[in-house]
Amino acid sequence: MTSSRRVLWGMALMTLAMQIVPITDAIAKLLTANSGLGVAQVAWARLAVGTLFLLPLGASSLPLRSGKRAVWHALRPHWLRGTCWAGASLFFFAAIKDNPLPNALALIFIAPLFVTITAPLLLGEAFSFRCVAASAVGFIGVLIVLRPAADDFSPALSLALVAGLCYGGYIIATRYAQSRSAGGDGHTAFMAMLTAAIISTPLAFLDWQAPTAGDWLLIITMGGLSALGHFTIAKSCKYAGASQVAPFHYTEIIGASTLSWWLFNELPTANTTVGIMLIIAAGIYVSLIQQQENLSH
């Protein structure tokens, strides 16, 4: 396969993944807002069931026959990733319970901008004034989406911003872990999901509600699609560089808006749409700058 065709495959896979992930978010909203299940319970269920779906691909990642010390050594590079992923899931699900999906998702998109600012400090990556300026524009978009001074300000929506910061931490931790562990696509997704499920387990049972048979069907579907989505993301990065596929991450807003309108009759307001566009434009601009820098090196 030629390099240009590999890049196209990577872009296509990222776009596909970004239409799968919003389905899991919509199911989570159904389970929390409609079925009354706890937010932590649903977040844990998605992680735990997703881990089971990825088990055939990631089982070799755990050296169970070599003893506890070997298992701990295999998990050690991924605890920080798991903590950030668990936090992102928990805060995002809390935000979407009473807020439209696109509004909350827009605040998750602050993650790449957060990485742009913190990576030079935490990972020693190059500092770019253009990226910082783009991050400032993105932050203006965040303020437009949140509208903290408005009469209808929703404090719960700010939890999506916390989720975005957690997801940014996950990206940073993943870059750090990649330099200290090896493995394929299944390994990458499985280890992060497993550690996130372990970390979120105590919270899940603090306010446990017995799911109905219909709830379990939704939970299993949500976990399976979550595993498929994250595996597809990992696969896309095998075909193309992270900066090449990053702009296609924002196609998630299409699926999220469609599902929000179809299932919940929710659409972002005109002001919110402007904020979303600013955040997305800033994120794409940062991705293009990073791609140019990679090509120059």
Which tens digits make up the pLDDT trace of 118-166? 777 776 666 677 877 888 888 889 888 888 767 677 888 999 999 999 9
pTM value is 0.87
Residue whose entry in the numeric block shows the structure tokens 């990222």: 14
Using one digit for the tens of pLDDT, what is the confidence trace for 220-259? 999 999 999 988 887 887 787 666 777 788 889 999 999 9
| Rounded CA separation 249/201 (Å) | 29
Per-residue pLDDT at 65: 63
- Are 128 and 115 in contact by the 8 Å Cβ rule? The answer is no
* pLDDT at residue 179 greater than cutoff 60: no
Per-residue pLDDT at 224: 95
Q: pLDDT-derived band of residue 173, with 50, 70 and 90 as boundaries? A: confident
User: Which tokens in the block code for residue 125?
Assistant: 């990556």
User: Which tokens in the block code for residue 217?
Assistant: 């069907």
Count of structural domains, the chain? 1
Domain boundaries, position 201: 3-296
**R_g (Cα) of the chain, nearest Å:** 19
Q: pLDDT-derived band of residue 44, with 50, 70 and 90 as boundaries? A: very high
**What ranges in 109-241 are assigned the alpha helix state H?**
111-122, 129-146, 158-178, 185-204, 213-239
Per-residue pLDDT at 2: 64
Torsion of CA 66, 196, 50, 258, to 10 degrees: -160
Choice between 89 and 171, residue whose per-residue pLDDT is larger: 89
Helices first, then strands: H and E counts in the chain = 13, 0
